Every structure is written in structure tokens, then in C-alpha cells.
Chain A
């Protein structure tokens, strides 16, 4: 009986600790996420980084030269995946192009510079 009482108390503490830790983490994440979003909105209001048509054109050229072999000319995917409606952030897309994916996609670190990456990301974002 004493053991069961200890187990019940322990279970209560366990639930409390779990709720506090996970709740605290999620709460903190929501707060930080909101402040990031607010900062983005302010940045947008101060000069929106609208995708420029020239950047998209340049990105399309780079795509045709470097990516279409695996992702198809219209980026709908062939050996590589369809690139329409990507949900990854710009930074992640850049990182993936730069570093590649082991056994899946080559690295373009030596071939593409920052301006090329910006153009490619601009092109990929233009795909609907």
C-alpha cells in the first residue's frame, strides 16, 4: 500500500514535471517565434525583399545549367524531387545546394557563389 502511495505521488510529480517542461519549452518557442515574425514584418515594412524578375531569370538560367539534369527542365522532378512549393527556409535551400545531400545530391560549393545562390532561391520561390 505504501509502495502504491509512493508510485501515485511519483506519477503526480512526473506529470507535473512533464507539463512544466514541455509547456515551458513550447511557450518560450511561441514567444520567440512571434518576435521573429514581428521583426520580419518590420523588415518587410521597411523595404520588402520582393523577388525581382531579373533575379528569377538569372536563377532560371543557373537552374537549366546545374539542376535540370536531375530535377527536370520544369523542376517537376525526375531523378531528384519536384521543387515546386518548397516549404524549407531560404537558408536551408542555400545550405542544401551548397553542401548537397550525401548519396543523393552533389555539392555546388565550388561552382555557385552567393549571388548565384540568391538567384536560384529567387527562381525556386517563383515556382508555383
Chain B
């Protein structure tokens, strides 16, 4: 495989694998946030279940995205310019998503109001970090350098 084809392959794989997890991560935070605001038990539970499924699916989707990104960046975890900022947002987001998923799987529905509040804070922080990583990823592709 020539380097040109390899670079294109990872670029396509990274582009193809990042957008679904980004979308899921944003909607999961919104879904859990809305669930917190709704008073009807049945509707609230549906939002929580939707949020849970999206969180798990999104976190599983992050792995191919990270792997293809590492291949594309030749295993560079820092870098310069837009790549550096992409990584500044990416690595904490990656860790947070793993942590949130594990916490959610263990706790399931048995959570206190305080626990839910802290969880939601981290969920929105994760969504913010994922958005930042996505923005700087776009800058790498379309930016000036």
C-alpha cells in the first residue's frame, strides 16, 4: 500500500467514524438533561433510557474513531496548531465518556439527586469537549495550515 493510499484510507475511516459518536454524545447529554426536567415518570424514564443507549453506543463508537485518528496522525498524541488543540479536547473527552459509561452501567437507575446532578455536569462537559475536538478536527482538514 502506498503512503498516499494509506493516508487517504485512514482519513476516510476517521471522517466516517467520528461523526456518529459526536452526534450521539451531544444528544445523550440533551436527552439526560431533558429527562431531569420532566416530571412524568414514564416519559422521564424513556429519556434516561435513550440517553443511556446513546452514551454506550457513542462510547463504543469512539474507539474506531480514536484508532483511525491515531493511525492518521502517525500515533502523534500532541502535535502543533489545530492538531494540538484537537488533542487537548479529545483526550479528556475520551476519558470522560469511558467514565460516564462505566458509572452509568454500574449505577443504572439507583442514583440519588446529587449523583444525577454531578453526572449531568460531567455529561455536558463531555459534550462540550467532544464539540471542541470536532471543531479542531475540522480545522485540521479545512484550516489554513
Q: Which residues on A are within 8 Å of B, measured CB to CB?
A: 3-4, 6-7, 9-11, 13-15, 17-19, 21-22, 25-26, 29-30, 32-33, 36, 77, 81-82, 85-92, 94-95, 98-99, 101, 104, 117
Contacts and interface: CB of A to CB of B under 8 A. Distances in A.
A77 B145 CA distance: 11
B45 to A, nearest CB: 17
B94 A22 contact: yes
22 contacts: A6-B106, A6-B107, A7-B103, A14-B99, A14-B101, A17-B102, A18-B98, A21-B94, A22-B91, A22-B94, A25-B94, A26-B91, A29-B70, A33-B74, A33-B75, A33-B77, A81-B143, A81-B144, A82-B145, A85-B145, A91-B7, A101-B142
B100 A4 contact: no
Nearest to B83: A87
B115 A32 contact: no
A108 B4 CA distance: 14
B110 interface: yes
Nearest to A105: B142
Given A4-B112, A82-B144, A36 B75 contact: yes
B106 A13 contact: yes
A27 to B, nearest CB: 10
Interface residues of B, number: 38
A13 B7 contact: no
Given A3-B111, A33-B77, A91-B6, A10 B106 contact: yes
Given A91-B6, A95-B8, A13 B83 contact: no
Given A13-B106, A22-B98, A95 B4 contact: yes
A92 B7 contact: yes
Contact of A14 (B76, B80, B102, B114): B102
A11 B96 CA distance: 11
Interface string B1-14: 00110111001000
Nearest to B81: A87
B142 A104 contact: yes
B145 A94 contact: no
B82 to A, nearest CB: 8
Contacts of B96: 18
Nearest to A13: B102
Interface in B39-76: 66, 70, 74-76
Nearest 7 pairs of A and B residues by beta carbon: A81-B144, A10-B106, A91-B7, A14-B99, A18-B99, A14-B103, A18-B95
A95 to B, nearest CB: 5
A18 B91 CA distance: 10
